[in-house]
Chain A
Amino acid sequence: MQIFHRSTNTLSRATIYGAIFVVAALFWAAAAIQRSPYVTYAGVRRPQPVPFSHQHHVAGLGIDCRYCHTSVETSSFAGIPPTKTCMNCHAQIWTNAALLEPVRESYKSGKSLVWTRVNDLPDFAYFDHSIHINKGVGCNTCHGPVDRMPLMYNQASLQMEWCLECHRAPEKHLRPRDQVFNMRYEEPSSSKPVEVDGKEYTDQLSLGTDLVKKYKLRTVTDITSCSTCHR
C-alpha cells in the first residue's frame, strides 16, 4: 500500500534542497533588518515640540553650530540650548508666530522644552564631543548635512561597526580644525586642494595621514581598545 503520493518524492527533494536557501535567506534578512532604519532610525525625521529647522537657521541665516551647542568644544556633551538662546532673537522676530508658542510658554514658565533626542548613543558607550572636534572630525562627518535638514534625523546608524569604521582608519575622515564647523567642506581633490601649514593636499589619505601626526592622535590600537568607549 502506498502512503505517499508520487509527487512526495519531488516535494521532499525540493524541500531539502530549498532548505539551504531558506536558512540563508533568514540569516540575510536578520542581518538586513538589524542594519535597516527600522532598527537604527537612520534618516527618520522625529516629531519635535517645535518643528525647529536646522536648514533654516544654519544654511538660511548662517548661525554657527556653537551659537546653540555651546559646550561642543570643551565638553563630552554638545549641549542643548536653553530657551533663552531662542528668545535672543525670537523676542524680536516672529513674536506672534503660533508655531513658537511652546517656546514663549517655556520662557515664561521657566520649564525647559522637551526635545526628542535624535542622535542617541546607548549609555554603555562613552562618547566625548570635545576630543572629536579637537582632533579634526567635522560635525557633518557624523551628523550628516544638518544644514539641509528641515527636521532633525540621524544620518548614521550609530552602531558599533560605524564607530569602528573611523576608529580603525581615522586618516580617511580627518579635516583641518578650522574646517570642522564648515558644513560644506569638501575633501581635498586636484581641482579643490586643501591647504594646511602652507602645504597643498590633493587627496584625503595624505592629508589625513599628516593630520593624524599633527593632531597627535592616539594609535589605532588605543582608540579601538574596548575600554576607550566602554569604560
Chain B
Amino acid sequence: MDEPLQNKRAPVIEPGYTFGSVTDKISAIVLTRPTSNTWFIGFGVMFLLTMMLLFAVSYLFVKGIGIWGVNVPVGWGFAIVNFVWWIGIGHAGTLISAILLLLRQSWRNSINRFAEAMTLFAVASAGIFPAIHVGRPWVAYWLFPYPNTMNVWPQFRSPLVWDVFAVSTYATISALFWFIGLVPDLATLRDRSEERWKKIIYGMLAMGWRGSARHWHRYETAYLLLAGLATPLVLSVHTVVSFDFAVGIVPGWHTTIFPPYFVAGAIYSGFAMVLMLAIPIRKVYNLEDFITERHLQNSAKVMLATGLIVAYGYVVEGFMGWYGGNRYDAFLLWNRLHGPYSFFYYMLLVCNIVIPQVLWIPKLRTNPVWLFFISGVVLVGMWLERFIIVVVSLHRDFLTSSWGMYYPTRWDWMTYIGTIGLFLSAMFLFVRILPMISIFEMRTLLPEAEVKE
C-alpha cells in the first residue's frame, strides 16, 4: 500500500468517534432530535405534490388516457419517459449496497442505507407509470401470468412481459435487502427508545434481534446471499428496460448498444440523485463527519465514468447512423440534429456530456454546491435522454402521412411532478423514522473495530 497517497485522501469517517458516539449521533436524529419546522414545511410541500399526483391519477381513471398528450404516432409519452427515468435512478442504490459490498468498498457504509431507500422509493414512483398507462388500469394485474378465467397468458416473447418480471423482482429484492440491513439498527432503536409505543414498533420490526453471535452469523450469511442476488439485477433490470425499445424495429430504438448504454445511464442518474439527496442531508443533520468529502468525490468519479460510457453510446449511435447505411437510421440522426426537437437534443448533449466534464477538476468535484448543481443538470439530462429516445424516435415514423408532434398536457406534468413529490415525501418520512445511516456498519469503520492479531 502506498501510505502517503492514502493519507492525502479524505477519510471515510472523521477521527475521534467511538462506538458509542457514532450510535448516539445517528440514533439521536430519529429518537431525540426535535422535528424542525423546516422538516414540516418540506414534508408538507412534498405531501401536497403527492396529493396532486393522486388528483391527476384519479382524473385519469375517470377520463382515460385521452387527457394525456399521447396519440398516434407518439403512443409512448411521459409515462414511459418517467418510468425509465425513475427505474434508472434506483440503480445507484443497488450498486452501492450490493456490488460495492461484494467488492469490500467500506466507504459505502455511510451512504448505502439511504441509497437503498432511494431505490425503493424510486421503484415505487416508477411502478405507478406502467400501471396507469395501460388505459384500463383496473385490469393492470393482467400484466402478471396467473391461471385466469380467460385461459390466456401474457405474450412471453414480448419484452414488456420481461419488464414486469425484471421490475417486480427488483422491487422485492431491494425491499428485502433494505429491511434485512435495517434489522440490527432497528434493535438499537428499540433499545434506545424512551416511549413504550416506540419500543413496541421498533421491537416488532427488529424481529427479536439480540445481537448474539448466532444472529450475526445468520445476518451476514443472509446479507451476503441477497447481495449476490441483487448484483446481477444492477445489470439485468435496465437491460430488460432497454429491450422494451431495442426489440422494437423503430429507428432510434433497434440497436444493440442499448443494454450497456442504458445500464450506464441508470447508474449515472442514480448517483446524481444520491448526491442531490446526500448533500442537503449531511448539511442539515450535521453528518459531514460520516458522509465526507471522500464520499462526494467517489460518487462524482462514478458519475464521471458512467457519464463517459453514456457519451460513448451517443457517439456510437451517431456513427452507426452514418456508417450503417440505413436511410431510416440516417434520417433519425438528421432529425435529432435538425428536427423539431433538436433543441432538446443539444440540451441533452450539454447536460449529459459537456457540463459534467468539470468533474475532472478535483476542486469542483469536492465542492458540495457545485456537485449539487451538476447532479441536478445530470438528472435533467438523463430525463431528456429518455424523452429523446421515446418521442423523437416515434414522432417521425415510417409512414410520412402520420408524422406528428408530441405535446405533454398539464396532466402529464402533474403526474410527473407528483411522483417527485411522492418520492421526496417518502424520503422525508424515512430520515425522520429510520436511521438513515447504517449504525452498525459505521461502527465497523472505527479503529476500535480493528481486530488485533
Name A's B-contacting residues (CB within 8 A): 3-4, 8-9, 12, 27, 31, 34-35, 157, 159-161, 164-165
- Say whether, besides A3-B199, A3-B200, A4-B203, A160 and B208 are in contact (CB < 8 Å): no
List CB contacts (< 8 Å) of B147-174 with chain A.
147-152
Q: How many residues of B contact A (CB 8 A)?
A: 14
B305 at the interface (CB under 8 A from A): no
- Say whether, besides A3-B196, A4-B203, A12-B208, A157 and B151 are in contact (CB < 8 Å): no
Q: CB-nearest residue of chain A relative to B150?
A: A160
- Say whether, besides A3-B203, A4-B203, A12-B207, A164 and B151 are in contact (CB < 8 Å): yes
- Min CB–CB distance B218 → chain A (angstroms): 15
- Min CB–CB distance B144 → chain A (angstroms): 11
Q: CB-nearest residue of chain B relative to A16?
A: B207
CA distance A225 to B203 in the complex (A): 56
CA distance A17 to B152 in the complex (A): 32
Pick the contact of A159 from B146, B150, B199, B208 — CB < 8 Å? B150
Query: Which secondary structure dominates chain B's binding surface?
Result: loop
Q: Is the CB of A160 within 8 A of B147?
A: no
Which residues of B lie under 8 Å from residue A27 when comparing CB positions?
Answer: 146
- Min CB–CB distance A53 → chain B (angstroms): 31
CA distance A9 to B203 in the complex (A): 12
Q: Is the CB of A35 within 8 A of B149?
A: yes
Which residues of B lie under 8 Å from residue A31 when comparing CB positions?
Answer: 147
CA distance A164 to B153 in the complex (A): 13
- Min CB–CB distance B252 → chain A (angstroms): 29
Which residues of A lie under 8 Å from residue B196 when comparing CB positions?
Answer: 3
Q: Is the CB of A160 within 8 A of B149?
A: yes
Q: Is the CB of A161 within 8 A of B200?
A: no
CA distance A159 to B151 in the complex (A): 9
Output the residue of B149, B152, B208 with the most chain A CB within 10 A.
Answer: B149
CA distance A3 to B197 in the complex (A): 10
Which residues of A lie under 8 Å from residue B207 when comparing CB positions?
Answer: 12
> 9 more A-B contacts (CB under 8 A) besides A3-B199, A160-B149, A160-B150?
A3-B190, A3-B203, A4-B203, A12-B207, A34-B149, A157-B149, A159-B150, A161-B150, A164-B150
- Min CB–CB distance A179 → chain B (angstroms): 28
Q: Is the CB of B208 within 8 A of A161?
A: no
CA distance A160 to B147 in the complex (A): 12
Output the residue of A4, A27, A34, A35 with the most chain B CB within 10 A.
Answer: A4
**Interface bits B179-211 vs A (CB < 8 Å: 1, else 0):** 000000000001000001001100100011000
CA distance A106 to B147 in the complex (A): 47
Which residues of B lie under 8 Å from residue A9 when comparing CB positions?
Answer: 208
CA distance A197 to B152 in the complex (A): 37
Q: CB-nearest residue of chain A relative to B147?
A: A31
Which residues of A lie under 8 Å from residue B146 when comparing CB positions?
Answer: 27
Q: Is the CB of B151 within 8 A of A160?
A: yes
CA distance A164 to B148 in the complex (A): 12
Q: CB-nearest residue of chain A relative to B202?
A: A3
Which residues of A lie under 8 Å from residue B190 when comparing CB positions?
Answer: 3
CA distance A165 to B151 in the complex (A): 9
- Say whether, besides A12-B207, A12-B208, A31-B147, A160 and B152 are in contact (CB < 8 Å): yes
CA distance A44 to B74 in the complex (A): 48
13 contacts between A and B (CB under 8 A): A3-B190, A3-B199, A3-B200, A4-B200, A4-B203, A12-B208, A27-B146, A159-B149, A160-B149, A160-B151, A160-B152, A161-B150, A164-B152
Pick the contact of B149 from A3, A4, A8, A161 — CB < 8 Å? A161
Which residues of A lie under 8 Å from residue B148 when comparing CB positions?
Answer: 161
- Min CB–CB distance A219 → chain B (angstroms): 18
Q: CB-nearest residue of chain A relative to B190?
A: A3
When A and B form their complex, which 8 residue pairs have the shortest distance between CB atoms, in order from nearest? A161-B151, A160-B150, A159-B149, A164-B151, A3-B199, A3-B203, A161-B149, A34-B149
- Min CB–CB distance A66 → chain B (angstroms): 32
- Min CB–CB distance A83 → chain B (angstroms): 37
- Min CB–CB distance A221 → chain B (angstroms): 14
Which residues of B lie under 8 Å from residue A8 when comparing CB positions?
Answer: 208
- Min CB–CB distance B172 → chain A (angstroms): 14
- Min CB–CB distance A163 → chain B (angstroms): 8
CA distance A165 to B149 in the complex (A): 11
CA distance A160 to B152 in the complex (A): 9
Which residues of A lie under 8 Å from residue B150 when comparing CB positions?
Answer: 159-161, 164
Q: CB-nearest residue of chain B relative to A39?
A: B149
- Min CB–CB distance B147 → chain A (angstroms): 7
CA distance A31 to B151 in the complex (A): 12
Output the residue of B148, B190, B200 with the most chain A CB within 10 A.
Answer: B148
- Min CB–CB distance A98 → chain B (angstroms): 42
CA distance A12 to B204 in the complex (A): 9
Q: CB-nearest residue of chain B relative to A13?
A: B208
Q: CB-nearest residue of chain B relative to A160?
A: B150
Q: CB-nearest residue of chain B relative to A30?
A: B146
Which residues of B lie under 8 Å from residue A34 when comparing CB positions?
Answer: 149
Q: CB-nearest residue of chain B relative to A27?
A: B146
- Min CB–CB distance A168 → chain B (angstroms): 8
CA distance A160 to B207 in the complex (A): 46
CA distance A3 to B198 in the complex (A): 11
- Min CB–CB distance B233 → chain A (angstroms): 23
**Interface bits B121-165 vs A (CB < 8 Å: 1, else 0):** 000000000000000000000000011111110000000000000
Which residues of B lie under 8 Å from residue A164 when comparing CB positions?
Answer: 150-152
- Min CB–CB distance A3 → chain B (angstroms): 5
Which residues of B lie under 8 Å from residue A160 when comparing CB positions?
Answer: 149-152
CA distance A4 to B146 in the complex (A): 40
Which residues of B lie under 8 Å from residue A165 when comparing CB positions?
Answer: 151
- Min CB–CB distance A162 → chain B (angstroms): 8
CA distance A157 to B149 in the complex (A): 10
CA distance A12 to B209 in the complex (A): 13
Which residues of A lie under 8 Å from residue B208 when comparing CB positions?
Answer: 8-9, 12
CA distance A160 to B148 in the complex (A): 9
- Min CB–CB distance A23 → chain B (angstroms): 13
Which residues of A lie under 8 Å from residue B203 when comparing CB positions?
Answer: 3-4
Which residues of A lie under 8 Å from residue B152 when comparing CB positions?
Answer: 160, 164
- Min CB–CB distance B103 → chain A (angstroms): 32
Output the residue of A3, A34, A159, A161 with the most chain B CB within 10 A.
Answer: A3
